A and B are shown apart, each in its own frame.
Chain A
Amino acid sequence: MTNNKLIDLVNISKSYGNNVVLDELNLYIRENEFLTLLGPSGCGKTTTLRIIGGFENPDKGQVIFEGNDITKLPPNVRQLNTVFQKYALFNHMTIAENIAFGLKIKRKSKAYIQDKINYALKLVNLDGFENRMPDSLSGGQQQRIAIARAIVNEPKVLLLDEPLGALDLKLRQDMQYELIRLKNELGITFIYVTHDQEEALTMSDTIVVMNQGYIQQIGTPEHIYNEPENAFVADFIGDSNIIASTMVEDKLVNILGANFPCVDVGFGRNIPVDVVIRPEDINLVKPEDGIIRGRVVSLLFKGVHYEMGVMAGDLEWLVHSTGLVPVGTEVGILVDPFNIQIMHKPESEDEQAAEIVE
């Protein structure tokens, strides 16, 4: 990944009737980046991708590609290719004809096209499928053909619109590794749209979390997970306890009546804030050793860990732990200061979008 901006979205707005899908969106994508647009359905992530691909025109704003304004260009002259959610293969053509489609349009030589077909099929581990028809392939195979069909055109950017959405869990995980491998072998930019936070965390260099047409946070997977900027991001990425609290002073926060030491400074004195604590960051100790006392009220075995509900200070805390604590046990809750994430309460309109809509 270099620092060169490859695509720059400037003040993009889009609405369908009264429904505002994107509002003044600004985002740049660097060369060789694996960037993921992550958010719930209706957050504007797919619309953003379709605007980059040229299938939708923004009402306002510009799409800059390598310094040129391509906002008005039709998709067939843009130097990028798309992998669609439901594969969108040409069912009346063989696999080879599907892959050759873009190259034949560009009038490449027969030998060149044949080489490319062989190369692409090898790359997606489907050699020997040339003469099969798309509907004789499984979902995962069809999706790999869709990827092959796109990459033979040597795009600078590959747009992927929830490409794994229609696949089952095991296949999805395998395909995640495949995609990372492909990205590394091809050395091109991937823009990936998904609502699956695990997929985003696994594959991306950069994650853009979106909600209701606004960007909530941009950052690396670690950054987004460990330091969510608002309640929406915290809630959307992984499980979390989000608790309305008061910042007493620098490095001290009052959560449900108990003072917890933390590492954040600069919020001021007695300021209302939201606190995010990941369930795996909560240590259950003897009642007298904890900062706040509680009682275990539920217990579920989740495989890797136990999921417990702990009633403390009139709130049920979600706790993940590898150690079993039986229901009814009196416990103390302890959290390491650097595991307490403090967030401002939402103020402006685009921060309002960060409120969790249940």
Chain B
Amino acid sequence: MNVLNKLTRHTENSERSLQNTHVNNVKWLSFPYIIWMSGFILVPLVLIIFYGLTNKENGFTFDNITLISDPINRQALFLALKLSLFSTAICLLLAYPLAIILNKTKMKSNSFIVLILILPMWMNFLLRTIAWQNILEKKGVINNILAFFHLPALNIINTPTAIILGMVYNFLPFMVLPIYNVLIKIDKDVVNAARDLGANNRQTFMKIIFPLSLPGVISGITMVFVPSLTTFVISTILGGSKIILIGNVIEQQFRLGNWHTGSGLSLVLMIFILFSMAILSKYDKESEGSNLW
């Protein structure tokens, strides 16, 4: 959604510069990006739509789309929806208080906390997830520590809980940063004005701070929910082979060479994502992606 938003902004800008003869030379600078965009975004999208709506004989069909109603695929989709909703909710509950604390602390310790938060992002995504596999394993770090204290072992690995944990760990920064960015932009005097007009701390939060932070919350939800819904790496590594999400199904189809089926299911997933974005943007008129609708 953000990418699309940047895209529309980009085209607006280039239109403006086209009108302006003084920056006529500068417009050539956008060509590498336009080539990139058409080659790696538009063409693949068109290909997926094409494969999704055709069969092996290149005839038009809805069969790939309707495959979603197959019990295994349907269950995988619902499980993916359930887990990504859970992880998004947990991220929000963890991120909002953290963003408030970040907003209230002094600048110095502030940048330190932000650093701690994004430090894991400098490491490879796969590596981080495999590390969690080692931590959660039956004979992993956690169970070794528990065994040392003669406590019963935890069986988290290969459960939905492990997948949610992986999602939250990997995507939490994408929830914190947009909320924090919105919070620091709220004028302190707007908060003071609410207090001045008689609102206590709770009322000030409910009626002023939270509504004003909604664009950040929506941005954060988008950036956590979408990758959670489509992931297959986290569910493969932390869910073993038992738990299959829609991402895993699509991945398998492509691995088996069933491009038509994989593309068809991908289209269904995209429709789900666009649908949830539409619902979200209803709640937030000023969100960054609102101009899409």
User: Measuring CB to CB, which residues of chain A are less than 8 angstroms from any residue of chain B?
Assistant: 53-55, 74-77, 81-82, 84-86, 88-92, 101-102, 105-106, 146, 149-150, 153
Contact = CB atoms under 8 A, between A and B. Distances in A.
Contacts, number: 63
**Main SS at interface, chain B:** helix
Interface stretch (B61-69, B133-141, B184-192, B273-281): B184-192
Contacts of A88: 187, 189-190, 192-193
10 contacts: A54-B196, A55-B192, A75-B195, A82-B193, A84-B192, A88-B190, A88-B192, A89-B190, A101-B197, A150-B197
A74 B189 contact: no
A105 B193 contact: no
B199 interface: yes
B38 interface: no
A82 B212 contact: no
A93 to B, nearest CB: 8
Interchain residue pairs A-B with the least CB separation, the first 8 = A102-B197, A88-B189, A88-B193, A105-B198, A75-B195, A84-B189, A82-B196, A88-B190
B193 A91 contact: no
B200 interface: yes
Interface of B: 187, 189-190, 192-200, 203, 207-208, 211-212
Nearest to B286: A92
Contacts of A150: 196-197
Given A86-B187, A91-B212, A92-B212, A102 B198 contact: yes
A76 B199 contact: yes
Nearest to A85: B189
B195 A76 contact: yes
Contacts of A55: 192, 195-196
Nearest to B187: A88
A76 B198 contact: yes
A75 B187 contact: no
A86 B197 CA distance: 16
A169 B203 CA distance: 38
Nearest to A75: B195
Contacts of B199: 76, 101, 105
B210 to A, nearest CB: 10
B187 A81 contact: no
Given A90-B208, A91-B212, A149 B197 contact: yes
B110 to A, nearest CB: 18
A55 B89 CA distance: 34
Given A86-B187, A88-B187, A92-B211, A105 B192 contact: no
A119 B68 CA distance: 61
Given A55-B192, A84-B189, A105-B203, A153 B212 contact: no
Nearest to A91: B212
